[in-house]
Amino acid sequence: MPASPPTHAGPFALGTFSTGAGVFPGLVAGSRVRDLSGQVPSVRALVDDWDTWLPRLHGLAASADGTWHELAALHVLAPVEPGQILQSGANYRKHVVDLVAAEKESVHGATPREARADAERMMDERIRSGVPYVFLGSPRAMCGPYDDIVLPELGEQHDWELELALVIGRTGRNIPAGEAMAYVAAYTVCNDLTTRDRLYRPDLNAVGTDWFTAKNADTFLPTGPFLVPAAFAGDPGDLRITLRHNGVVRQDESTKDMIFGIPRLIAYASTTTTLRPGDLLLTGSPAGNGAHWGLFLKPGDVVESEITGLGHQRNTVRSLA
């Protein structure tokens, strides 16, 4: 746990915790956690029946009954075991404009002003007529919000990508964008780490990127600390995403900068796969990744991450050995 308990929006949040006696689902109310293991086996089971459980949680949070723990005394785990992990790429306007403009300067010889103007036109057109880019991640990459990030043996350019993530609370397929927000149960924080120099496969040029290898190493998806119910989180289209690397702010952006908002992401993903309670959908990362700054994660680094109302993470980086 960090020195001070992480805060959350609203009267309560949910999480998964451990003590010397074992792991349990918990209802978080400020600095205290109510053990829910006598009523539900896991946070995932609770999300599976979200519409039934949400009203009950209000009463449980307000009651002095049950077993309560001090949050600071608990080990905070990733808050939920997901079904699918759906991840959105290239979904922040400034971030993508930076990438496209840099390529136009270095590869095509454009001036900085020309490159940026052309990149901004491309993004405007993508917003009007394009579709999201979504791929799958592995639940095995998840770790807790205060766990160490363990760098794999292969690769050197290990990068951060802080993202707003949502948890699906209802089953749906071909969900209209206008109805999509009714399928969101809660929000959480994810840092979707990437090993940049393992993303492209020179031995398979026709195939291109290797998302599995670059993004799914153990501990490469710090998640949590909590699930904050959607009703408490405020406007998910206007939350602040902030990441500090060794105390220096590297990402600091509003979710307003998303190219495709949450309704369009849900609608798009549900045209291919049935969304079910417990599925996790990451909404993309804003500008300010390590590649932008020309630096990457090394053993001993500390990464601190937060999103408005959802709590914060603090991860120390170490090598595998």
Handedness of CA 203, 206, 209, 210 (dihedral sign): negative
DSSP 186-250: EEEEEE--EEGGGSB-GGGTTT-B-HHHHH-STT-EEB-S-BEETTTS--TTS-EEEEEETTEEE
Query: How far is it, in rounded angstroms, from Cα 303 to Cα 244?
Result: 6
Q: Nearest 10 degrees: CA dihedral of 169, 170, 176, 179? A: -60
Question: What is the strand order of the sheet 228-229 is part of?
Answer: 133-137, 85-89, 280-282, 162-168, 184-191, 228-229
Q: Nearest 10 degrees: CA dihedral of 183, 32, 190, 227? A: -10
Residue 16 DSSP class: E
State the average pLDDT for the chain.
Answer: 92
Q: Nearest 10 degrees: CA dihedral of 39, 45, 50, 52? A: -40
- Within 10 angstroms of residue 127's Cβ, the number of other Cβ atoms is 13
pLDDT band at 99 (very low <50, low <70, confident <90, very high): confident
Does the pLDDT value for residue 124 go beyond 90?
Answer: no
Residue entry with tokens 């949450």? 262
Tell me whether the omega of the peptide bond preceding residue 225 falls within 30 degrees of 0, making it cis. Answer: yes
Question: Which tokens go with 217?
Answer: 């190493």
Least confident piece of the model among 27-36, 110-119, 217-226, 231-240: 110-119
Q: pLDDT per residue over 67-82, tens digit each? A: 999 999 999 999 999 9
Does the pLDDT value for residue 194 go beyond 80?
Answer: yes
Domains and CATH numbers, the chain: 13-77 (no CATH), 85-89+133-319 (3.90.850.10), 92-131 (no CATH)
* Predicted TM-score (pTM) of this structure: 0.93
